[in-house]
A and B are shown apart, each in its own frame.
Chain A
Amino acid sequence: MEQPQQRLTRQTKENLSSTSSSSRILDASARARRTQKFLESLEQDNFHDDPTEPSSSFDPTLTQEQIAKSLSNISAFGYSRHSKGLILESDEPTTTTTTSNSSNKRRKIQFKYDVFKTRFRKNLQTLLDEELGSNGEKSNDEKNYFTIVAKPSKYPSIKLCSVCGFLSQYTCQICGNLYCSLKCLDIHKDTRCLKFTV
């Protein structure tokens, strides 16, 4: 007899708190954006910073060549991580300094053909855009990267609790994550819910 009562009070408490901060409930599009962001994070190579980044651990004993090498590595990497196709402002100066520092050894690392240098600075998004552009409107019937993606499933998704990983039946009212029990809901609220909102 005691349990339902407990649940009831909890529910009323919930209602109170949700009405007081109702603006924070995420709508469908915000939830979709959030999932998208989460999926993008699953594509990430690293979740920490480059341990040899010169700004954090600058070593005066490094030769100029080594610095140039590590600089070029970083700028190339930093560029590729920004998937929006923007050229970073900090990118340009570093490349010019590295090329001005260029010596024979340095050239060995780089490609012989200068043409490539500009072509290397393309990230996946620009490449995909180019691919789409060259195909034009036809891309709808032709088979290409964009059209071979798998169709949505016709089966319902398996729902797993975002906290403990077991099967779940409930959805968090605020953010839309799944949970299986009140215990998990509490943990969810304390740790994840809206902690990393869009």
Chain B
Amino acid sequence: MTTKPIFVVDNGAYMSKSKMNTTDKSKIIPNCIMKSKFYPRRTFIADQIDNECPNKTSLYYQLPFQKGYLVDWNIQKQVWDYLFGKIPFKTTGLLMTEPCMNLNFIRETMDQIFFEEYEVASFARYDPATLSAYQYEQDMKSNYVLVIDSGFSFTHIVPFYQGRKLFDGMTRIDVGGKLLTNQLKSVISYRQLVVMNETYIINELKENICYVSLDFQEDMKKARLPLSENSNSLDYILPDYNEIKQGYVQSSSTSTFNGNIADSSKKNLTKQQQQIVRMNVERFTIPEILFRPSIIGIDQAGIAESIYNSVEQLPEHIRPSLYNNILLTGGNCLFPNFKERLENELRSMIKDDYPIRITLPENPITYALNAGVTLTNSSDYINYCVTKREYDEHGVSICHRKFTDNP
């Protein structure tokens, strides 16, 4: 029963990460449908955009998720159909993630769609934090883990004991990658160049050059310095999808004395057409929103403070174990210095004799996916999933029972 192939999907609001538990190849595709004004006749589903649409300006996004929850099933169905391709679900199981605190309606619809529309052999849905905790507790031989899942729509802080959620400490911060990109867009549009329609390009920019500041005041001072001695200011060249296919950082504005004449003359040729955005304070004030949502007027504590708040709600004797087992997952953790900043800030808040250990996996984006694969390969996976036969007999109620009772 357990040797059955199972398709694991970490169905994020922005990226859908998937993998067959029998192979080693994972597939990461955007979970959306896009339209381009250059190809008015067609739509691009998921990663078709990478291969079939060379010009990524003014993409029109249709996302199935809203504020992190699945609402547009028509779009989602098209992406799923594309993703599943020719997987024979008669003999293949499915493990799919759902957001933390998913709404009951979405849960039920999902169960029904997979059993009745796709007719999967077995189905399981857990939130990515649960899967990550499962993997972490196995790897580190630890009973406790505090999972930080900072994704596209929001950031969740979830403490676990032996694979079970400690509900008292669960916290959600409504800051995610989408908000950061949109804020960056509006800031650049106001100060320099109107880029409100260029979600794709600005997201790329954000991923390339934004970072978390370790000393905000100090970095602010540095950013104030005149351009010649300012190491923080960067000129970022936006792609025009004609000659420049991808945005990049201009190798310092005074590159002419570097002697690379051939290169610089080539650049001069196109200088007129180049679209440059000068990034200075934006590089660290945007990710700073994760730590201080109050910057843009969200009345919620930042990540570090919320971790402190949620752990302090739990019994005192388990607090050190939680601080000692913090796991970072989700794309926002890829900002440089994220882990260090979190550690610094936590250190200043919690008791001196509590140890802090933060784990940043090699790839925080696919951590939950790989954890899901581990779970499906474990011998007792049958207890975690609902088979077609069970569903036919008990209906939706068994899904509800199994997925909430298990971790």
Query: Which A residues fall within an 8 A CB radius of B?
Result: 35, 38-39, 41-52, 57, 59, 72-73, 76-77, 80, 109, 111-113, 116, 119-120, 122-124, 127-128, 130-131, 134, 143-145, 148-155, 157-158, 160, 163-167, 191-192
Contact = CB atoms under 8 A, between A and B. Distances in A.
B171 A157 contact: no
Interface in B298-325: 298-302, 305-306, 309
Contact of A158 (B66, B106, B288, B298): B288
A153 B292 CA distance: 8
Contact of A48 (B191, B197, B293): B197
B105 A130 contact: yes
Given A145-B103, A165-B187, 7 more contacts: A38-B297, A42-B182, A43-B179, A120-B73, A128-B103, A130-B104, A150-B293
Given A48-B196, A112-B117, A80 B66 contact: yes
Interface in B37-80: 37, 40-41, 43, 58, 60-63, 66-67, 69, 71-75, 77-78
A48 B190 CA distance: 16
A152 B191 contact: no
24 contacts: A42-B296, A43-B178, A46-B197, A48-B197, A49-B60, A51-B35, A51-B60, A77-B72, A80-B71, A112-B116, A113-B117, A116-B113, A119-B105, A128-B103, A143-B101, A148-B100, A149-B174, A151-B301, A153-B300, A160-B285, A163-B190, A164-B191, A165-B281, A167-B220
Contacts of B171: 148-150
B77 A166 contact: no
A52 B36 CA distance: 8
A80 B69 contact: no
Nearest to A192: B190
B71 A119 contact: no
B164 interface: no
A158 B294 CA distance: 7
A113 B197 CA distance: 36
Interface residues of B, number: 74
B10 to A, nearest CB: 20
A163 to B, nearest CB: 8
Contacts of A111: 73, 77, 113, 117
Contacts of A43: 66-67, 178-179, 182
B170 interface: yes
A76 B74 CA distance: 8
B388 interface: no
Contacts of B84: none
B381 interface: no
A154 B301 contact: yes
Given A152-B299, A166-B223, A120 B74 contact: yes
A76 B72 contact: yes
A127 B103 contact: yes
A80 B73 CA distance: 11
A50 to B, nearest CB: 6
